[in-house]
Amino acid sequence: MSVRATTLPSGLRVLTDDMPGVGTASIGVHVAVGSRHEAARENGLSHLLEHMAFKGTRRRSAREIAEEIESAGGDLNAATASEHTFYQARVLPEDVGLALDVLADILTESVFDPQELEREKGVILQEIGAVADTPDDLVFELFDAAAFPDQSIGRPILGRRESVARLSRADIRRYLKRFYGANTLIVAGAGAIDHDAIVAQAARLFEKAPQARAPAPAPARYVGGETIVRRRIEQSNIVVGFESFGHTHARSYAAHAFANAVGEGMSSRLFQEVREKRGLAYSIYTFNWSFADTGLFGFSAAASPRDVPDLMKVALDCLSAALEDLNEDEMRRAKAQMKVSLLTALESSPARAEQIARQTEIFGRVLAREEIVGAIDRLTLEDVRAAGRQLLASAPTVAAVGPAARALSAARVAERLALG
């Protein structure tokens, strides 16, 4: 394996993966904190902090932060998720030092100017509004909230209007002190990378970073239920789901394989039965998301209100039938799709940098490609069917945005699956 890892005395971890033949370098800083770590009144704070990190430091203005990276031909970005945040730059090999300097600057020297804060809160409120105006985005927010009611894991990553509007500069500083410390950060690089040079520079740039307390979030409590938002639009946007498994659960790979087998791609039974044979929806697909201690499995579709009852019956019958008749051809296809997804990430330096940081945070180490491929190859039909049975035995969660449809209820989903 080409991954090298160094832990500095401060607790800062540095991971790199030198990728021969790659002409650029991706360097990032990962922190295992996201919306799941927020108190109810802080909802949206992780995302706001990510935005504000780019709005000026003691050394650079917001414009200078962007110009220094872009003048070198690079790009600078960040993303906030439920359980982590990742700041990353992609540059030419000779500009890795510049990129890491900028990243360290925005994470240790940001000033959080009050005027910039109010402007950026306004931008985020527009972002929240855009989600509310986009039914296929809004339906997933509703789904999360129904699956995990009154819990941080079920709240929107962007935050709610009322919570974002009242967040202050003091809130940001307290949150930064609580979670962003040398002992919680991972510097990760991939591509045309010099590990020793990055270690030396990271030690210097983050030497004054304090230690963070970083309390763990409360355990997730999957509940299930339903949320229907009626709107006068052309289609009903639907998500139906169930509790799945966390990253380290023994059935995690099997759950991903079940999702791939029944609903990933145009040859899947869900796509074939719902769209190709009956024309009940333009698109339908499954998903399986893993978190630290839980997960979510389900399917999403958009359909004319008159077609929703038939779509629900066909889709749920497909899932039920797969518990008994999932076949070797479907298994081979699912395994191949999982491997392609893995290898695609390994071939992209930005994805690889984020991947090695995430794996280290979750598993305590970077997983070898052969280890993951081996786990996929060892899956049997019974492994995947058993995972599917456990998934569908949990309480259903139903979310929908659009015209009302009588078929859309958690109770009806449970009844239909019981018939299968």
Catalytic amino acids? Answer: 50
Distance CA(59)–CA(64), nearest Å, equals 9
Can you state the angle between helices 369-377 and 328-347, rounded to 10 degrees?
170
Q: Which H/E stretch holds residue 297?
A: strand 295-303
Distance from CA of residue 420 to its chain's centroid? 32
Question: What is the rounded distance in angstroms from the CA atom of residue 249 to the CA atom of residue 289?
Answer: 12
| Phi-psi region at 44: left, alpha or beta (left = phi > 0; alpha = psi -120 to 50) | left
- Bridge pairing between strands 397-402 and 225-230: parallel
Single-letter residue type at 281? A
Q: Could you give the CA distance from residue 206 to residue 12 in angstroms, rounded to a whole number? A: 8
Q: 302-336 burial by CB neighbour count: b if 16+ within 10 A, else e? A: bbbbebbbebbebbbebbbebbeebeeebbebbbe
Instruction: Please give the Cα distance from 356 to 344 (Å, whole number).
Output: 14
Q: Facing residues of 299 across strands?
A: 240, 286
Sequence-separated (6 or more) residues with CB below 8 Å from residue 367: 359
C-alpha distances in Å from residue 308, one per residue of 19, 144, 290, 312: 48, 21, 28, 6
Q: Tell me the two tokens of residue 306.
A: 């008159």
